[in-house]
């Protein structure tokens, strides 16, 4: 039974939802499958959110969550996802076009426009022409989300309207502030890349490049952590950020990390949470 239904049934006056709670989903490439595990935990415990924001992979999973699709259906869709759905180019030193990802998004989304989603949703991307951080709450889902996921040097930018979109994580990898700016009183963040900033012993150019991107995202991630009231941090360091191998383990890691934080999350929804 959902928490809101529980309190409504028992007519307990102490639970009067006077605030909005937002869900923030970080970037992290294919490590974003951990977000599905978090969704599973939220669904089991009856936790619902008033708004969702995501950058990079977080925008993809956030848009999916905003459809109010059940976890089981999301999981079934994830079973068919392949590496080629994310990265088309087979040459490690060449960027990949986003055609395959856009096709995937169109195939799994029940709606085409962000404004048609059931939960208010904000996708964060960066316009390469101006350098500005863009917060999309309307527009074509496939174009906006693929633009938000377009890691520089790994993927080609996405042309959308008069913009050239690249990965939102370049400016704001944990967009908790976007939710606060749009009326959320509290934000719960799922950070599927909390080990960002760590180095690598690999001599692979591609691995060195993606590791460098992670190091550069450390500072803008700190801002997001500071704007979050609760942060869920699944341990994803053993998973590659651009390969889908280990999806089930990633999902389980997200689930377990969320369940670990569930006592604090429930306190927030019960009105008993105190900011540190």
Which of the residues are catalytic?
56, 167
CB atoms within 10 A of CB 205: 10
CA atoms within 13 A on the CB side of 9: 6
Among candidates 42, 63, 53, 35, which has minimal Cα distance to 182? 53
Among candidates 187, 179, 81, which has minimal Cα distance to 124? 179
Q: Provide DSSP, 217-234.
A: THHHHHHHHHH-SEEE--
Q: How far apart are CA 115 and CA 22, in angstroms?
A: 17
- What angle is formed at CA 63 by the lines to CA 5 and CA 253, rounded to 5 degrees? 75
CA distances from 156 to 16, 95, 171, 185, 229 (A): 47, 6, 17, 36, 34
Q: How far apart are CA 147 and CA 142, in angstroms?
A: 8
Q: How far apart are CA 255 and CA 220, in angstroms?
A: 25
Q: Are 36 and 76 in contact (CB under 8 A)?
A: no
Q: Are 126 and 133 in contact (CB under 8 A)?
A: yes
Q: How far apart are CA 143 and CA 75, in angstroms?
A: 23
């Amino acid at each position: 039974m959902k928490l809101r239904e529980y309190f409504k049934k028992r007519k307990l006056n102490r639970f009067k939802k006077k605030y909005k709670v937002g869900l923030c989903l970080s970037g992290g490439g294919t490590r974003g499958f951990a977000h599905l595990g978090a969704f599973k935990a939220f669904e089991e415990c009856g936790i619902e959110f008033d708004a969702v924001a995501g950058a990079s992979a977080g925008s993809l999973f956030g848009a999916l969550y905003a459809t109010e699709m059940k976890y089981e259906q999301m999981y079934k869709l994830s079973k068919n996802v392949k590496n080629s759905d994310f990265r088309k180019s087979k040459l490690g030193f060449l960027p990949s076009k986003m055609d395959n990802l856009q096709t995937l998004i169109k195939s799994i989304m029940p709606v085409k426009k962000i404004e048609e989603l059931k939960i208010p949703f904000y996708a964060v991307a960066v316009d390469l022409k101006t350098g500005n951080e863009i917060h999309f709450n309307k527009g074509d889902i496939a174009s906006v989300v693929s633009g938000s996921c377009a890691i520089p040097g790994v993927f080609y930018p996405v042309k959308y309207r008069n913009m050239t979109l690249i990965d939102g994580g370049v400016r704001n990898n944990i967009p908790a502030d976007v939710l606060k700016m749009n009326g959320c009183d509290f934000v719960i963040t799922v950070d599927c890349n909390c080990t960002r900033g760590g180095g690598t012993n690999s001599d692979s150019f591609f691995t060195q490049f993606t590791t460098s991107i992670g190091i550069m995202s450390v500072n803008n991630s700190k801002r997001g952590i500071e704007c979050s009231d609760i942060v869920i941090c699944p341990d994803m360091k053993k998973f590659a950020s651009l390969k889908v191998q280990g999806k089930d383990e990633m999902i389980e890691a997200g689930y377990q990390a969320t369940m670990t934080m569930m006592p604090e999350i429930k306190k927030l929804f019960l009105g008993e949470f105190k900011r540190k």
